[in-house]
Amino acid sequence: MEFTLTEEQRQIRDTVAEFVDEEVVPRAAEIDETDEYPADLVDEMADLGLMGMPFPVEYEGAGLDYHSYAIGLEEISRGSGGLGTVVAAHTSLAGNMLYEFGDEAQKQEYLTALNTADDIGAFALSEAEAGSDVPAMSTTAERDGDGYVVNGGKLWISNGSVADTVTLFAKTDPDAGRNGISSFVVRPEEDDGFIVEGTEDKLGDKGCPTAELRFDDMWIPEDRLLGEEGDGFVHALKTLNGGRITIAARSVGIARAALNEAKSYAQQREQFDRPISDFQAIQHKLADMDTKARAAELLMHEAADLKMRDEDYIKEAAQAKLYASEIAREVANEGIQIHGGYGYTKDFPAERFYRDAKLSEIYEGTSEVLRNTIAQQLLDE
Ligand SMILES: Cc1cc2nc3c(=O)[nH]c(=O)nc-3n(C[C@H](O)[C@H](O)[C@H](O)COP(=O)(O)OP(=O)(O)OC[C@H]3O[C@@H](n4cnc5c(N)ncnc54)[C@H](O)[C@@H]3O)c2cc1C
């Protein structure tokens, strides 16, 4: 087992870190305050090849391995948790749906435009009454000549209001449970009946619009079907498995940001005529924060390694995401504690890290659902 980054992986970390320090960190508080989608930063990331990191160059992707992609996403999320979600939903979810399950024509047409960020991607699975319980979805896609008519709605869709390509899940056979779900490519600009109902006012993850979508007799041509009818549930599960590695990366990035800020604050804040970093209580907090972030990072890389080897990684991805998201919230909490009263104000970023970290415990499988998955895998071994 190799624990050292390759020269290429180190270069990627340095390049993304430099971009994040120069362009994202100075804007992070403003993005958090305004909750505006930072289109200019997305364009800059596209120029650096960060909007299609794990996909082959033949589709205008950056052709990076999954470790490098995770490292890139970790760095972006260190700057802004919301920007981390923008990239993760666009790449791990929408991009991967096309890469894994699209035919050649669909990849050429839709994945290529996602990788250059000429198009922005979203993944529309969840509904008001179907979150953890995916097969409970009620959106339908009914055969209509050489296409489908889609009716229903989706909730909590990251990038949903700015997306050009939405990978959508709908029931083509409502009586067949999970086997009746199919996945499609939807194009909001072209498809009449695609309606953005609004966006959520969230605790954190600002800058990434989380949209409610409605489909009102929306007709889409049959060549937008991904794979075969009935494949959708498996498409969703496989895509979310890969996505969980990147939510682990987002969590590690936020944890690192919280640790870095807390460390530098502790070294300059004086009480009792000495920096608070002299107190063992503070030193132990910093030690635990760093240890947890490193452990989470190793779990993330182990899952990425298995994915790259084409081995089963369901349990490992779930564990990486579960552990990284929970320690990110804990680390961010200790970051606030180290800042004392200042940590509870908007004058310091500590409270933003806490709000951003919390989300990772909810989307792409809640911690409870991930524990179910891990236990199931463990008992089946
Ligand atoms: C900011 C944000 C962005 C999101 N982005 C997207 C996106 O881009 N695309 C998308 O499709 N979805 C997205 N989601 C939706 C997200 O994946 C769901 O919110 C999540 O899956 C949980 O579903 P729910 O909210 O309906 O909660 P519920 O499923 O109702 O869960 C409520 C509680 O019950 C627990 N619970 C449910 N079932 C079980 C069980 N079997 N065992 C134990 N406990 C259980 C849960 O863990 C949770 O604590 C996003 C959500 C948020 C908040």
pTM: 0.98
Residue 220 in this model has a pLDDT that exceeds 90: yes
**pLDDT tier at 2, thresholds 50, 70, 90:** confident
Same domain, 269 and 196: no
Among residues 229, 261, 297, 364, the one annotated as catalytic is 364
Within this chain, do residues 108 and 218 fall inside the same structural domain, yes or no?
no
What residues are paired with 226 via a beta bridge?
Answer: 183
Alpha-carbon span 280 to 286, nearest angstrom: 10
**Joined tokens for residue 301:** 């890389």
Q: What is the mean pLDDT of the chain?
A: 98
Q: Tokens 């590690």 correspond to what residue?
A: 252
The pLDDT tens digits for 277-317 are: 999 999 999 999 999 999 999 999 999 999 999 999 999 99
Average pLDDT, stretch 66-85? 98
* Pocket of ligand 1 contains residue 66 by CB under 6 Å: no
State the pLDDT at residue 381: 84
Cα 132 to ligand 1 centroid, rounded to whole Å: 5
211 Cβ below 6 A of ligand 1: no
For residue 215, give its domain range: 122-229
Q: Let me know if residue 76 belongs to a domain.
A: yes
Q: What is the token pair recorded at 176?
A: 């067949």
Task: Give helix then strand counts, H and E, for the chain.
Answer: 13, 10
Residues 108 and 174 reside in one and the same domain? no
Interval between CA 124 and ligand 1 midpoint (Å): 13
170-212, pLDDT tens digit by residue? Answer: 999 999 999 999 999 999 999 999 999 999 999 999 999 999 9
Q: Specify whether 237 is located in the same domain as 376.
A: yes
Q: Look at 3 and 235; give whichever has higher pLDDT.
A: 235
Please report, for residues 82, 122, 202, 347, 373, the alpha-carbon distance to residue 358 in angstroms, rounded to integers and kept in the order given: 12, 21, 11, 20, 20
Q: pLDDT, tens digit, for every residue of 243-288? A: 999 999 999 999 999 999 999 999 999 999 999 999 999 999 999 9
Reduced to 3 states (helix: H, G, I; strand: E, B; else coil), residue 15 is helix
User: Measured from the CA of 367, which atom of ligand 1 is nearest?
Assistant: 47
pLDDT at residue 24 in the model: 98
Structure token pair of residue 205 = 């993850």
Query: Are residue 95 and residue 127 in the same domain, yes or no?
Result: no
Residue 364 annotated among the catalytic residues of the structure: yes
The domain that contains 190 carries what CATH number?
2.40.110.10
Q: Is 147 in contact with 222 (CB distance < 8 Å)?
A: yes
Predicted confidence at residue 3, as pLDDT, reads 84
Q: Are residues 268 and 357 in the same domain?
A: yes
Listed residues 103, 119, 135: the one ending a domain: 119
Q: Is residue 2 part of a domain?
A: no
Q: How far is the CA of 2 from the centre of ligand 1 (A)?
A: 35
Taking only Cα atoms into account, the Rg of the chain, rounded to an integer number of angstroms, comes to 21
For residue 200, is it left (φ>0), alpha (ψ between -120 and 50) or beta? beta
User: Is the domain of 251 the same as that of 342?
Assistant: yes
**Predicted pLDDT of residue 55:** 98
Residue 134 inside a domain? The answer is yes
Task: For residue 93, give the ligand 1 atom closest to its CA.
Answer: 8
pLDDT of the residue at 84:
98
The total number of residues written for the chain in this structure: 381
Residue 61's pLDDT band (boundaries 50, 70, 90)? very high
CATH of the domain at 65: 1.10.540.10
Provide the β-strand partners of residue 198.
Answer: 212
* Residue 83: predicted pLDDT: 98
How far, CA to CA in Å, does 328 sit from each of 20, 158, 299, 321, 344? 19, 20, 14, 10, 17
Is 133 among the domain residues? Answer: yes
**What pLDDT does 303 receive?**
98
Q: How far apart are CA 154 and CA 301, in angstroms?
A: 32
Same domain, 28 and 126: no
